[in-house]
A and B are shown apart, each in its own frame.
Chain A
């Protein structure tokens, strides 16, 4: 079982966002960067699939500047076998990033290619499915269950008001949602081992594509609210406001 995971490096979800001087990206000063939380489900799934198969290889692939190597090392510390850094500036056009990833993954002999369902910075939510289409592979997105047996995968994904089951032959592409598994933490032994695991650097050029980021802005602040009162005694006043002022009941 040979499995690839495509990883992103993102600001920690607790980070306060400040707009940078360019007006089209964030100010990175003081921000802690972490592996994209959804990608951790993909890493865990990859390691578990290899463990289940009893043999194989897990490879983590990261597109971006040199800082992504730190993220790749985190995955190696979790137990991934080797890393590939596709060194180049990503495009604002997700299809161009998908092309570069697909070109690298094509012919790699992977049984499964895993992504997080989205990256919590740009919320692009498209790279995984695009890579699948470019490679003409089956694809299930935002999966919360993955069972692999006899060269096929059975998955579940959450849709509004229910769960949608699906299945496909391998090789296939999956994007992983919260609920799929509980990602393991890197052990001290894993962190030490990760330093010696191979991290290959491949320079790439990502085309600009058809998307331009014009600006990034903070959302309008909500107007200051008010404390209606204390305890159950405040409920009648709240109901009055919700029905007469806000008109939502």
Chain B
């Protein structure tokens, strides 16, 4: 048994981004022992899954139920668990929804679960994963025996080009009790981009001096044209200057964007833990001895109120708007 089930996330009747990345992780496990990859889609009605074959799905299993119009953890975990015995691994994206779903599937299927995995390898009947722990201050290598549920951190694997069949088949939704009734997501007015998913994160700390100066960060983020989100340090979130959903660090979100711009953030150890895997880190700080400069690829020492408008103008010019 070397087959892998990838449980895909649906929002508003369509696949969420990240499906192809998750299939890449699934293929890595399946290909180690000549297995196949099935993508499970739980939805209320048809979903466009035509791109999944090229991303690595041998089959697409479609489970339908009226309760799947919104996220339905009880029905989705029951469906995945009902076919768990056919698989050596079930992979889920470690998003807010995936982290909710993964342990439920594991408990119902009576198998172990590894969360927020950044690397996965299969050999024999063991799956070996690496997971950041202590908010990324350490990396834990773990072996799981038998079937396991693995929540793969978004961005850990790039999509692959696989030219598999991706033929759609129906799968039965087992009887389940809808214990939790989940409503439709209310999209935040700040825009749909989350710090955990943005290609560019612009984060502010106490150096901003006043919550109104977050406007400087909003302007720089806007200059990136919809691919940037605004983050914050714990100090300013605790002070009420920013929403807790924007907090980067050990009691907030762990982010790994391509570009992280830390503005007026000194670089407390718990903050560094949350952003140190960013591809490129830029720090703007008045204090040349601030710890943030030890992890930053590029630093500018100076007054952020002078640097930020200049940087925003330069990014706008580079982006051609």
Please give the residue numbers on chain A whose beta carbons come within 8 Å of chain B beta carbons, in ascending order.
11, 13-17, 19, 26, 37-38, 92-95, 98, 120-130, 132-134, 136-142, 144, 157-169, 172, 177-179, 209-219, 222-232, 234-236, 238-239, 241-243, 246, 248-249
Contact = CB atoms under 8 A, between A and B. Distances in A.
Interface residues of B, number: 95
A227 B300 contact: yes
B133 A216 contact: yes
Contacts of B247: 178
A195 B150 CA distance: 42
Contact of B103 (A125, A144, A234): A125
A138 B181 CA distance: 9
Given A166-B180, A213-B141, A232 B302 contact: yes
A202 to B, nearest CB: 22
Contact of B280 (A122, A137, A169, A246): A246
A178 B240 CA distance: 12
B185 A163 contact: yes
A160 B297 CA distance: 28
A231 B303 contact: yes
Given A179-B245, A232-B309, A239-B315, 19 more contacts: A13-B135, A14-B269, A17-B137, A94-B112, A94-B113, A95-B113, A123-B134, A127-B103, A133-B77, A133-B103, A162-B192, A165-B183, A178-B244, A178-B251, A219-B132, A222-B276, A226-B297, A242-B298, A249-B318
B82 interface: no
Nearest to B194: A160
Contacts of B99: 125, 141-142
Interface string B281-307: 110000010000111111111110011
A82 B245 CA distance: 33
Interface string B127-151: 0100111111111111111101000
B245 A14 contact: no
Contacts of A232: 302, 306-307, 309-310
User: Which of A16, A130, A218, A243 has the largest number of chain B CB atoms within 10 A?
Assistant: A130
B280 A13 contact: no
A94 B250 CA distance: 21
A13 B254 CA distance: 14
11 contacts: A15-B269, A95-B112, A121-B134, A160-B196, A168-B179, A178-B252, A219-B137, A229-B301, A231-B303, A246-B279, A249-B319
B107 A212 contact: no
Interface of B: 71, 73, 77, 95-97, 99-100, 102-104, 106-108, 110-116, 128, 131-146, 148, 179-183, 185-188, 191-194, 196-197, 200, 237, 243-245, 247, 250-252, 258-259, 268-270, 276-277, 279-282, 288, 293-303, 306-307, 309-311, 314-315, 318-319
A242 B134 contact: no
A210 B150 CA distance: 13
B288 A227 contact: yes
Nearest to A224: B294
B241 to A, nearest CB: 14
B244 A17 contact: no
A43 to B, nearest CB: 15
Contact of A242 (B268, B270, B282, B294): B282
B139 A218 contact: yes
A235 B97 contact: no
Contact of A157 (B96, B104, B252, B300): B96
Contacts of B298: 225-226, 228, 238, 241-242, 246
Contacts of A227: 288, 293, 299-301
A124 B115 contact: yes
A95 B110 contact: yes
A230 B259 CA distance: 20
B192 to A, nearest CB: 4
A142 B95 CA distance: 12
Contact of B115 (A123, A142, A217): A123
